Every structure is written in C-alpha cells, then in structure tokens.
C-alpha cells in the first residue's frame, strides 16, 4: 500500500517530460528566448531625467559668437619714416627747416637729426639748423630702438653767396671828374633788414642804395659791393670803373 504514491509521482514526471519534448513546447521556449533577446537589444523606455535635460540643452543651445578680431591688428605693422628739408640749397649762412614724420613706431624708439657739419645733433622731429660755411652736407634722420634701425638722408648744398645780386654803374667809363651812380639789384622781397656797403676803390665808401660817387683822378678802379640780408647771408659783387684824363692832361 505504501509504494503507490511513489509510482504515481514518477508517472507524472514522465508525462511532463513527454509534453516538453513535443515541437509545440520547444517552439514556445524558443519564442520566449527570442523575446528576451529583443528586450535586451532595445533601448530602455525610461531615461534618467538628468540625461534628457543635457540632450535638450545641447539641441537648443545657441552658440556664443566669438569676437571677430580685425586683421590689421593681428598683422605686424610696418614702420614708416619720412624726412624733408627746406630749403636744400642756398648761400651761407643757410638756415634749413628739417621735419620728420614717423608712423607705427614701437614704444621706446629714439629720433635723431645729424646735420653733417659736425654740429650737435637734435632729438626732435622738427628743428631748424644754420649752415655757416659753404659746402656740401648730408643730413641724416634716424629712428633707433628695439628691433628698429631706420634712417633717411638729405643732401644740402651751401654756396658762398646767400642770394642773387647784380650791380650796375652808370657810367662806368669817362673823363675825370667822373660822377657815377651805383645801383644794387636783389632778389624780390629779401629777408629784412638788408645792409649795403660800397667800396669805390679810391678810398670812398657809401652805405646806401643807390649810391653816388665821383672819381676825381684818372685811373682804373674796382668798385665792390657787400650786401647782407636779415638771415645773415652775404653776397658780394665787383665791377671796373675807368676814369680817363681830360683832353690835354696826362694820367
């Protein structure tokens, strides 16, 4: 009587194994395995809130504009130097106005005018200089500093005479006594004041223009005029005066 329950349990296990071995049971197991695999491959339906907020901010964020730099400011600027002189020629003493313009110079540079006549140089951009002796000079303007060494040269020509001057004598030949009118002719509007110094060659002098002088003795004379203008410039001219003896007289 006690052995029947064990036999009944064994028979139930056999029935269940038989059913699971059927094609229908195996198909259900395969379908269940496939569903589990698909659920594992599919993305989760729930996403953490912090992740969604990050994605939304990235999608709707507006890029911050980057300030545009001016190309000229990024490029290295080139130093520009310009030097002038006025006048560049004339008679001694010659006063010249020098001027220089410098652009895009770095900080700390130094300026210098060298006038070429062994005089003291100047560190100003605009300066006047007087050449007291005739000659040819080279004035140099230079810019020096860290990584900077630029210069420009200007030729200056100084002649003996500071301005044009002509003189006239009327008459310049005749018998003694010979009265002569001397006249000096200058450039238009010379710098004032202008001084005149006549030497008539016979000991006589005059400081006017025109000037009058009488030669009382026969002879050959050299009249000389020295003119100085308001800048201290000097011009000199000479001319010959011939005084003949009167008829019947010897020299």
Q: What is the pLDDT of residues 37-48, one digit of tens each?
A: 555 555 555 455
Same domain (yes/no): 149, 176: no
Same domain (yes/no): 86, 125: yes
224, part of any domain: yes
Which of the listed residues 113, 135, 159 is the one where a domain comes to its end? Answer: 159
Residue 152: predicted pLDDT: 96
Q: How many structural domains compose the chain? A: 2
Same domain (yes/no): 85, 152: yes
Same domain (yes/no): 221, 239: yes
Same domain (yes/no): 152, 222: no
64, part of any domain: no
Residue 7: predicted pLDDT: 58
Residues 99-147: pLDDT tens digits?
999 998 888 899 999 999 999 999 999 999 999 888 999 999 999 988 8
Same domain (yes/no): 153, 179: no
Same domain (yes/no): 123, 174: no
Same domain (yes/no): 90, 149: yes
Output the domain CATH number for residue 204.
2.60.40.10
35, part of any domain: no
Same domain (yes/no): 93, 146: yes
Which of the listed residues 135, 159, 183 is the one where a domain comes to its end? Answer: 159
The residue among 197 and 79 whose pLDDT is bigger is: 197
Same domain (yes/no): 92, 132: yes
208, part of any domain: yes
Same domain (yes/no): 155, 85: yes
74, part of any domain: no
53, part of any domain: no
3, part of any domain: no
The residue among 159 and 137 whose pLDDT is bigger is: 137
Residue 79 tokens, joined: 């130093």
Which of the listed residues 142, 159, 176 is the one where a domain comes to its end? Answer: 159
21, part of any domain: no
Same domain (yes/no): 146, 186: no
Give percent of the chain with pLDDT exceeding 90: 49
- Can you give the pTM of this predicted structure? 0.49
The residue among 42 and 208 whose pLDDT is bigger is: 208
**Residue 128, domain extent:** 80-159
pLDDT band at 66 (very low <50, low <70, confident <90, very high): very low
């Amino acid at each position: 009587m006690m052995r029947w329950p064990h036999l009944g349990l064994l028979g139930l296990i056999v029935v269940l194994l038989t059913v699971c071995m059927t094609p229908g049971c195996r198909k259900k197991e395969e379908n269940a395995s496939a569903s589990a695999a698909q659920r594992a491959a599919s993305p989760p339906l729930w996403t953490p809130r912090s992740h969604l907020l990050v994605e939304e901010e990235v999608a709707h964020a507006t890029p911050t504009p980057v300030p545009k730099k001016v190309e000229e400011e990024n490029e290295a600027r080139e130093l520009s130097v310009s030097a002038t002189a006025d006048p560049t020629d004339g008679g001694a003493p010659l006063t010249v106005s020098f001027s220089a313009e410098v652009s895009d110079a770095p900080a700390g540079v130094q300026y210098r005018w060298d006038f070429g006549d062994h005089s003291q140089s100047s560190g100003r951009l605009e300066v006047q200089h007087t050449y007291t002796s005739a000659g040819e000079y080279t004035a140099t303007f230079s810019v020096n500093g860290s990584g900077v060494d630029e210069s420009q040269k200007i030729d200056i020509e100084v002649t003996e005479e500071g301005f044009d001057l002509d003189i006239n004598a009327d008459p310049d030949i005749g018998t003694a006594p010979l009265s002569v009118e001397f006249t000096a002719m200058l450039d238009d509007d010379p710098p004032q004041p202008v001084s005149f110094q006549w030497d008539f060659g016979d000991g006589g002098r005059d400081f006017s223009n025109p000037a009058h002088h009488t030669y009382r003795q026969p002879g050959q004379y050299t009249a000389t005029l020295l003119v100085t203008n308001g800048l201290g410039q000097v011009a000199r001219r000479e001319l010959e005066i011939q005084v003949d003896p009167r008829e019947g007289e010897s020299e």
